[in-house]
Amino acid sequence: MERGLESCRRSESNGLWAPRITAVEELQSRVQETLDLLSPQELSNFRIFLKSVDEEPRVTPLRLELEGKSTKRLARLLVQHYCEPAAASRVLTKVLQQLRRVDLLQRWQDATAAEDRGIPRKILKRSYDCVDGELDCYDLRGKRKAFIMCVEKNRPGAQRDIHLMEEWLGQCQFEHTQCIDPNKMVLIEKIRSFRDGLNESKDDVGCCLVTLMSHGEKGFIKMEDGEKVSLEDIFEMFNNKNCPALQEKPKIFIIQACRGERRDTGVETDDEPMESDDISERRRLPTFSDYFIIYPTQADHVALRHPRTGSVMIEAMSKVFKQYGNKWHIADFFTKVNNRVVHTEFHLHEEPIKVSLVMESTLTKFVYF
């Protein structure tokens, strides 16, 4: 493939390379032919992977959002940024490798190899760029199962939380089970039954999400009668030993409850070494892996809930999802939610209170709903 340097000129308006019209049409057509062979989910992942590709100038997330929704527009956007055929080939090759579309790689790899045999080029990499094959996405094509527990008693705004969570789970394609105002025994029974259902399911389970909304204190959630349930006991129910159906599957926990009584000067608050088995060659997993746990506040601190609009974290989740949808990895999504929470002013009895969400993760891959 020709390198086409002489067919490009520098645009004074944006500093990008702009080829002649014939080169544009030919390259854009070939790019679109490839994109047309991708599924909707693969196209979505293509745009995600494109954001971190180590090729300058990068396509900005904003331009991807505004111009990259269709294969035709995405192809045009790629050609505008990477007018040299070899540059476009490098980009397509890297993204297709991450998508594992080996069947589409050959048409772009030849040009990449030819370029590599030419003038050496310095690859600009960032420390946080993802190395090919180092981190993949979880396969969420199986059933997505969710469990919602909510204590409504003495928690004004709790009904609003349930509505927002149901809406969010529906948008993320989760089937959910509800448990409202349980006592300790009922909660343990319900959540164990939910876990057993996952293990006994004849359908492949892709992901599990458990939402617990109640009063709480450090390490515990409280039932409507004041009984306490250990969060660690609940987390343990879904580990790799007790829930083999979720081995190497994401297990997400959203905890909306206080973690203590400290107030970070608001709205109304809730009440207070590894060895491998060389003989059998069986892979081993740690007992706890693939967890993602989100708390609404720092350890030992109160969580925030408004009697009319509901919990601060749940409301922020709903607003961020409506604005950005499922375009982000779950950790990035909750980082954006945290940004909204941290930069919003709250008062309790005229005293300012600030909170920050806390994420705990043992994920081994990316999670995109």
Kindly report the CATH number assigned to the domain that includes residue 239.
Answer: 3.40.50.1460
Among 112-126, 176-190, 215-229, 347-361, which is the least confidently predicted range? 112-126
Arithmetic mean of pLDDT over the chain: 79
60-76: pLDDT as tens digits: 777 777 677 788 888 88
Same domain, 298 and 238: yes
Q: Which of 116, 134, 155 is the last residue of a domain?
A: 116
Residues 222 and 165 in one domain: yes
pLDDT band (50, 70, 90) for residue 43: confident
Query: Is 349 annotated as catalytic?
Result: no
By mean pLDDT, which of 39-48, 249-258, 273-282, 293-302 is the weakest?
273-282
Res. 287 pLDDT band, cuts 50 70 90: confident
Catalytic residue among 150, 172, 207, 215: 215
314 half-sphere exposure, CB direction, 13 A CA radius: 33
More confident residue, 323 or 314: 314
In a domain, 245, yes or no: yes
Same domain, 151 and 107: no
Q: What is the pLDDT of residue 283?
A: 62
pLDDT in tens, 86-123: 778 888 888 888 877 777 777 676 554 444 433 333 33
Phi-psi region of 88 (alpha: psi -120 to 50; beta: other; left: phi over 0): alpha
Torsion of CA 185, 187, 193, 199, to 10 degrees: -120
**Domain limits at 22?**
5-116
Encode 7-44 in three state secondary structure.
HEEECCCCCCEEECHHHHHHHHHHHHHHHCCCCHHHHH
Q: Confirm whether 13 is domain-assigned.
A: yes
Confidence band, pLDDT 50/70/90 cuts, at residue 265? low
Band of pLDDT at residue 335, cut at 50, 70 and 90: very high
Q: Which of 243, 236, 232, 207 is nearest to 366 (CA)?
A: 207
Q: What is the structure's pLDDT at 282?
A: 54
Of 52-56, 113-117, 225-229, 359-363, minimum mean pLDDT range: 113-117
| Statement to judge: residues 165 and 285 lie in one domain | yes
154 and 27 in a common domain: no
Q: What is the pLDDT of residue 225?
A: 86
| pLDDT of amino acid 135 | 55
- The domain that contains 62 carries what CATH number? 1.10.533.10
Any domain includes 134:
no
pTM of the predicted protein model: 0.61
Determine, yes or no, domain membership for 368. Answer: no
Distances (CA, A) of 275 to 38, 242, 288: 40, 21, 16
Is it the case that residue 6 has pLDDT exceeding 50? no
Residue 272 pLDDT greater than 90, yes or no: no
Residues 6+ apart with CB under 8 A from 201: 143, 245
**Peptide bond preceding 57 in cis form (omega within 30 of 0):** yes
Whether 279 shows a pLDDT value over 70: the answer reads: no
329 included as an active-site residue? no
Domain end (from 80, 98, 116): 116
Instruction: Indicate if 71 and 219 belong to the same structural domain.
Output: no
Please tell me which residue in 83, 179, 243, 258 is annotated as part of the active site. Answer: 258
pLDDT band at 217 (very low <50, low <70, confident <90, very high): very high
Reported as a single tens digit per residue, the pLDDT across 149-206 is 999 998 999 999 999 999 999 989 999 999 999 999 999 999 999 999 999 998 899 9
Inter-residue long-range contacts of 345-349, CB under 8 Å, 24+ positions, other chains counted: 346/266, 346/267, 346/304, 346/312, 347/266, 347/267, 348/263, 348/266, 348/267, 348/268, 348/269
Residue with tokens 């991807």: 64
Residue 328: per-residue pLDDT: 82
pLDDT exceeding 70 applies to what percent of the chain? 78
The mean pLDDT value for 324-337 works out to 87
| Domain count of the fold of the chain | 2
Torsion on CA atoms 182, 183, 188, 190, rounded to nearest 10: -30
State whether 75 and 204 are in the same domain. no
**Of the ranges 251-255, 259-263, 283-287, the best mean pLDDT one:** 251-255
Are 180 and 285 contained in the same domain? yes
- For residue 326, with 0-12 CB atoms within 10 Å meaning exposed, 13-18 middle and 19 or more buried, which class applies? middle
Mean pLDDT score, 133-137: 62
